[in-house]
């Protein structure tokens, strides 16, 4: 696992956008896994700026979702499909044909989960998967004690998660779905390059446990330690609990520029 400490969220977004740009130059039709929420927005903003300036050609890029609410229609403004369309697909000038995600409105939810897992494999696998992290160490909606071998599946949201997400639903928790479809930890680990961005002091404990703690299901993100090419990008605040912070700074400073992220 490579840990990169950056000054702030903007710098983290720029760094990861550069890695995506380099990937698209090598593989124009790369499959990019995207996450929702406020943390990855600096990545999408930096990547959009590169595309609009002509520095990056994303015309053949493919996009896939990390997770989706169960029970919301695809056109609901807070479905993650709608969010990805607004924050990623449209700004990058892509069409919906380049986008794949699980069907959260399916009658048979488990069948939809299995179909999405299969679709990712048939698409050649995810080349770069963007991830955020919860304060409890979850990635996607893989809450603590999720199986580290789990596949795309339905999960029940905790009460706290529904409270946290109520701000997107007019502060009405009753509008927040109880269930989601999420890529499992095993599914995430099949991506060629998982990249986790964490910003803010509120994520410091989770980052420290993920990077320096044991691999344990109680901290789902710690499973990234088992991946041969996982990158964790954190701002100074999120890095504040890392015991090896100085080591991580030194190793990244000495890294050959040609090696990239």
- Res. 160 pLDDT band, cuts 50 70 90: confident
- 136 noted as active-site residue: yes
Half-sphere exposure at residue 91, Cβ-oriented, CA atoms within 13 angstroms? 17
pLDDT at position 73:
79
pLDDT at 258 over 90: no
- Res. 257 pLDDT band, cuts 50 70 90: confident
Helix (H, G, I), strand (E, B) or coil at 244: coil
Catalytic option among 2, 18, 136, 236: 136
CA dihedral 133, 211, 238, 82 (to 10 degrees): -20
CA distance 83 to 165: 14
pLDDT at position 260:
87
Catalytic option among 68, 143, 193, 235: 143
Residue 197 is inside which H or E element, if any?
A: strand 194-198
Distance in Å from the first CA to the final CA of the chain: 11
Catalytic option among 103, 117, 138, 235: 138
| pLDDT, mean of residues 204-217 | 98
- 122 noted as active-site residue: no
* Confidence (pTM): 0.95
pLDDT at position 13:
98
- 159 noted as active-site residue: no
Measured CA angle at 55 (ends 83, 24), to 5 deg: 65
Q: What is the pLDDT of residues 87-111, one digit of tens each?
A: 999 999 999 999 999 999 999 999 9
CA distance 70 to 33: 19
Closest CA to 106 of 129, 79, 139: 79
**Residue 126: C-alpha distances to residues 195, 248, 250 (Å):** 12, 27, 30
Residue 49 is inside which H or E element, if any?
A: helix 41-53
Q: How many helices (H) and strands (E) does the chain have?
A: 8, 10
């Amino acid at each position: 696992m490579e840990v990169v400490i950056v000054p702030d969220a903007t710098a983290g977004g720029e760094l990861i956008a550069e890695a995506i740009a380099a990937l698209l130059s090598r593989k124009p039709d790369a499959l990019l896994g995207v996450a929702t929420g406020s943390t990855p927005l600096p990545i999408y903003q930096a990547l959009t700026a590169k595309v609009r300036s002509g520095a990056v050609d994303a015309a053949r890029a493919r996009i896939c979702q990390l997770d989706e609410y169960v029970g919301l229609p695809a056109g609901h403004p807070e479905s993650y499909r709608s969010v990805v369309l607004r924050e990623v697909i449209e700004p990058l000038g892509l069409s919906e044909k380049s986008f794949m995600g699980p069907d959260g409105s399916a009658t048979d939810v488990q069948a939809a989960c299995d179909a999405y897992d299969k679709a990712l494999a048939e698409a050649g696998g995810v080349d770069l998967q963007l991830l955020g992290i919860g304060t409890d160490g979850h990635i996607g909606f893989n809450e603590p004690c999720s199986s580290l071998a789990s596949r795309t599946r339905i999960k029940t949201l905790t009460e706290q998660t529904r409270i946290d997400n109520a701000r997107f639903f007019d502060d009405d928790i009753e509008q927040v779905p109880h269930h989601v479809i999420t890529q499992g930890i095993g599914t995430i680990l099949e991506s060629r390059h998982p990249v986790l961005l964490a910003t803010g002091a509120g994520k410091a404990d989770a980052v420290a446990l993920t990077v320096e703690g044991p691999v344990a299901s109680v901290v789902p993100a710690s499973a990234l330690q088992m991946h041969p090419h996982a990158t964790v990008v954190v701002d100074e605040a999120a890095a504040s609990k890392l015991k090896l912070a100085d080591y991580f700074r030194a190793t990244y400073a000495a890294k050959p520029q040609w090696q990239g992220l």
